[in-house]
Amino acid sequence: MDANYEENSPALREACGIFGVFGTENAASEIYNGLFALQHRGQEGAGIVVSDGEKVRSHKDRGLVSEVFSGYPMERLSGHLGIGHVRYSTTGVDRIQNIQPLVAECSDGIWSVAHNGNLTNAAVIRRMYQKAGAIFQTSTDSEVLVHLLSDPMFRLRPQRVGRTLGELEGAFAFLIMNKNSIMGARDPHGFKPLSIGRKENEWFLSSETCAFGHSNIEYVRDVEPGELVVIDKNGLNSSFFAERTRNLSQCVFENIYFARPDSLVFGRNVHEVRVQYGALLAKQHPVDADLVISVPDSGNSAALGYSRESGIPLDYGFIRNHYVGRTFIMPNEKARAAGVDMKLAVLAEVVKGKRIVVVDDSIVRGTTARRRIDALRKNGAKEVHMRISCPAITHPCFYGIDFPTKEELIAGNRDTNEVCERVGADSVGHLSVENLLAPFENRRNFCTACFTGDYSVEVTGKKGKKILEKHG
């Protein structure tokens, strides 16, 4: 993630996509395809680092995967192992140095790191190394792992990587690479997903299983919380750098919004979970209406579930321009607002004179909801009822999702009636926390802090708990 590390700054967040491969003839091509499948997780920058066992080569730049590598001679990225990253930052400087994977030359060779998540003790570690004279090249929290890996206190000890990971707090899925191996790790709370795939003698690591489909890669299992897997010429080896917590804190927003519908996340197919959310939403918040429409694409599955359960017909009310990215993960409010206007067009013939149920995955700041409702009314909708397939977001996230300060959240200091008035809907209904967790066997294994304010991992820094006290 990006960070400016000022003490008056709130936690800074991002969600990204990571993909790694070992044992293929053309690692760069496989990583490109994997990142392309993970493009929905980040659209600001992309990068690939590969090794042939002797030399490490890399290329990264701003833009979409197709833009970054358009015209780039991929034969320059020759190698049989490598890792890649698609980036979405929410704050901080838009610097090419922040695009991952990060590459650093240490005393024992070149190491590379790709990260999804947010390290809550990064500021403390960063200041410690800076006071000792270390120089940081980026404003990302991910760079602290590079400094830990090069620190003689860890570098000269057995189980070096595991020991460094054990120093980190917060949410992370890491891919780590040297010239001979790739490694994958998840934090002991299990916030972020990371899956293992295989095709004959080739091994793969990915943020989501949807990235395995392009090459008929077999999904093997998830990397366990607190686990470090090392893949090299001897195959896959597993160890645990930390004991998993008794109750995990898996990010439920992966199932609500971030993950692609065809992915398996935390043991469940995302589409099936979202359909179930829609059905539960229809039971919890019924309404007399003529039509159910979704806000594409992340609202599609829940809208299907709402329609099936309620018996209200489902139709296309919005047509999406697929050449506009995901407005939620655009880096500033101006870009998000412009993106909303360009992204969706209303089918006036469908909504005119109708009482409409609009199913969406979330309302964060309210910017997009207001604009969509205004557009429906301008095109003749008689009533507009918002149905949201997650609870009201009332608290900021410190673990890797762009939920801003409590004051910026539309539901941070407002009840449902006030939110409804602010977005201009006839009614608003959110899924309850109980129904949000209903599709899962162990409901205690999910983080719901953005809905409840119950944070499982503290944010540490010079001000320590005051960060949470201020924004919680």
Active-site amino acid positions = 16
Specify the DSSP class assigned to residue 409: S
Which residues on neighbouring strands pair with residue 61, listed in sequence order? Answer: 46
Q: What is d(CA 49, CA 56) in angstroms, rounded to the nearest whole number?
A: 7
Q: Count the alpha carbons within 13 Å of 256 in the hemisphere toward its beta carbon.
A: 31
Q: What is d(CA 391, CA 436) in angstroms, rounded to the nearest whole number?
A: 8
First vs last C-alpha separation in the chain: 21
Evaluate whether 181 touches 2 at the Cβ level (below 8 Å). Answer: no
3-state secondary structure of 43: coil
Lookup: tokens for 249: 């804190």
Q: What is d(CA 23, CA 32) in angstroms, rounded to the nearest whole number?
A: 15
Q: Which amino acid is at 234?
A: N
3-state secondary structure of 202: strand
Best CA proximity match to 193, nearest among 168, 210, 216: 210
- Run of H or E residues at 221: strand 218-222
In the chain, what is the greatest distance between 2 CA atoms, to the nearest angstrom?
A: 72
Range 193-200, long-range pairs (CB < 8 A, 24+ positions): 193/222, 193/250, 193/254, 193/259, 193/265, 193/266, 194/18, 194/116, 194/222, 194/223, 195/219, 195/220, 195/221, 195/222, 195/223, 195/264, 196/220, 196/221, 196/222, 196/223, 196/229, 196/236
